[in-house]
Amino acid sequence: MFKLKNNFTILLIILWQAISVFLMATGVWPQEIVYLNTALLAVFFLLASPLDSIRLFILSIPAYVVIPNSYSDTLSMWRPLLILLFTVIAIKTYLSFPRKRESRTWFWILDQVRNDIQRKAFLKSPDFYFIGFIILAALSTLIARYPSETIKQIIFLINAYLIYILIRLTIKTKDQIVTITKSVLISLGLIVVLGFVQFISTFFTSSYYFWQYWATMVSKLYYGQSLADVLIYSNSWFSYTGGGSSLRMFSIMPDSHSFALVCALAFLLCLPFIARRIERPVKFSRSHVNGTVMAILSGLGVILAGTRGVWVGMIAPFGIALILYAKKIFRPASKNITIAFIFIILFFAISPLINQGVGLIREVGRGGFFDRALSIYDLSEQSNVGRLEIWKESATYALIHPLGTGYGNFIVSLFNEIPSNTSYAQLAGMENTRFNLPQKFVTAHSLYLHLLVEVGLLGLLVFLLWFASFLYRSGKYLWHHRNQFSFEHELVLVICLFLIWVLTHGIFDLTLFNDKILLYVFSVMAIAMTILRVNTNGIDSNMRIGTNDTNKELV
């Protein structure tokens, strides 16, 4: 097996993917080029080290498009690639273990789980509650009208969860933590930069032609024909305020909501890299400059996405950061994060100037970001009326059906009666006149109500405990290190703040289950869990990441 010059090879593969996706999106190359791209990544995974393979997988997230096939028009490249990567790393991990040590399992992570179970720590871990949620979702097939859809959604969730397992399986040193975090940030940064490309490109064409091109070419490439057909006449790409409409920033994402969360995560992940200059003072730090630029672009992206749910969701992490700063806890990290959030608020303050600048280039609606933000409280606004109605109907249905419809079967709650011979495809294709969408794209417009309808109160509770256990363990770790400052501690803090941001936004939408958002969420949760590796007392005595020796192992 030949040795790859991995950094250069990764760069070449990323450049090739960028060029090929661009040419496919413009119609120059056929979509069948996806087969070549998939094979190229697969070969790399077979030949490269586990760490470099995970790096390339994460860096390629912005380039994952749909694989042409006759079975599903939504099968994205990342799904078979992640299964392959998991299999390859599992085999390599097994082969690397000393064969005479029979007490050592071929997955070290299973050893960790076994130890946790023996000391009852596993019952408090996020992994326990995730597995519990999957089990409850699987049991819901017993009551689901369409159990095949339940199974599809469970497979999708487990498929994405593999990146969480792989990161925890692979990362063992401080340098590897930094490497993987940089890969996540660069991947997010590519989507943010593409957002500005998309936004600026709207200056040079009419909104209608841009809309139709993006739906039929770009969205079709990334999310399949069925979604492209819907986006041609119904999408969230426009904001309506002040009697006019204007295109938002949404990049390669299917909607502005998921793009805003990409910007939110990129914004927060930049902060530890900016702070590294404080930890290790130097005259010039490239990571400090790059982090600052990306934080500014990501902060602007949060505003230009025009997503009110994300704006409201920001109140929770900003409030926590402000309290930590006021109480003089975890300084200077809490100070840096508070200042960063204030800059986003300043972007709101200068939004009229931004609107005027955009208006000089293209014709936009008279309303600005302030008008859109104020519309949050307008209960007569069309979007708010529709959301309140679906909330009421979903809550009523959940009260009558406490066990739920079955995971992935929310569509059943939208009908009073369904003929016994009606297939899921027939039901999904019916038009929902309220939202001007096929029924399969209609949600409860709330993560929690949606899950309540599908898996009942018990399923929702286990889902919340999944994230609550993560935040609890992370908070315990951070409290123990509250008087210390390091890159790793601030990284855990910003990941927690991002999850709080996502969970608050979940009151208004289901963006968490977007495939790219889910991959990023699992990735950063795995990074945080690898850093803290808590024991029953909250702190792992084997943790080496906070020391000056960057070569000592985490586990």
pLDDT of the residue at 309? 86
Which 8-state DSSP code applies to residue 76? Answer: B
Residue 317 in domain: no
Residue 374 has a CB neighbour count (10 Å cut-off) of 14
Q: How far is CA 443 from CA 136, 312, 358, 435, 446, in A?
A: 20, 20, 33, 10, 8
Give the separation between CA 346 and CA 246, rounded to whole angstroms: 22
pLDDT < 70 positions in the chain: 1-5, 97-124, 239-246, 276-287, 350-384, 533-555
The alpha-carbon radius of gyration of the chain (Å, integer) is 23
Q: Answer whether residue 25 is part of any domain.
A: no
CA atoms within 13 A on the CB side of 120: 1
- Asked if residue 47 belongs to a domain, the reply is no
> Is 369 part of a structural domain of the chain?
no
Task: State the pLDDT at residue 384.
Answer: 64
Neighbours of 416 (CB within 10 A): 5
Work out whether the CA dihedral 340, 342, 343, 348 comes out positive or negative: positive
Contact criterion met (CB below 8 Å) for 389 and 231:
no
Quick one: CA torsion of 84, 186, 473, 478, rounded to 10 degrees?
A: 150
Q: List the one residue out of 161, 122, 158, 116 whose CA is nearest residue 138.
A: 158
Closest CA to 181 of 528, 515, 550, 497: 528
Angle at 302 between CA 240 and CA 512, to 5 degrees: 95
Q: Which spans in 446-545 are helix H?
A: 447-480, 487-505, 515-532
The 3-state DSSP class for residue 431 equals strand
Residue 305: its pLDDT value, please?
87
Looking at 244-285, list the stretches that DSSP marks H as alpha helix, in order from N- to C-terminal side: 256-279
Packing angle, helices 286-304 and 256-279, rounded to 10: 150
Buried/exposed 100-118: b ≥16 CB within 10 Å, e otherwise = eeeeeeeeeeeebbeebee
Phi and psi at residue 431, in whole multiples of 5°?
-85, 135
* Three-class secondary structure of residue 190 per DSSP: helix
How many domains does the chain fold into? Answer: 1
Confirm whether 454 is domain-assigned. yes
User: Is 140 within the bounds of a domain?
Assistant: yes
CA angle 517, 521, 526 (to 5 degrees): 150
DSSP string, 402-416: TT-S-TT-GGGGG-S
Range of the domain at 140: 107-167+390-416+440-480+514-555
151 domain residue, yes or no: yes
Torsion sign across C-alpha atoms 318, 319, 321, 325: positive
For residues 143 and 406, the answer to whether their CB atoms sit within 8 Å is yes
- Asked if residue 105 lies in contact with residue 115, where contact means CB atoms within 8 angstroms, the answer is no
Residue 231 lies in a domain: no
> Could you report the per-residue pLDDT of 35-78, keeping only the tens digit for each?
999 999 999 999 999 999 999 999 999 999 999 998 888 899 99
Cα–Cα distance, 57 to 44 (Å, whole number): 10
Q: How far is CA 257 from CA 93, 333, 433, 505, in A?
A: 38, 28, 22, 9
User: How far is residue 535's CA from residue 540's CA, in Å, rounded to a whole number?
Assistant: 5
d(CA 162, CA 343): 36
Q: How many CA atoms lie within 13 A of 413 on its CB side?
A: 32
Query: What type of residue is 132?
Result: G
- What would the two tokens of residue 267 be? 């914004």
pLDDT for 377? 47
Do the beta carbons of residue 90 and residue 118 sit within 8 Å? no
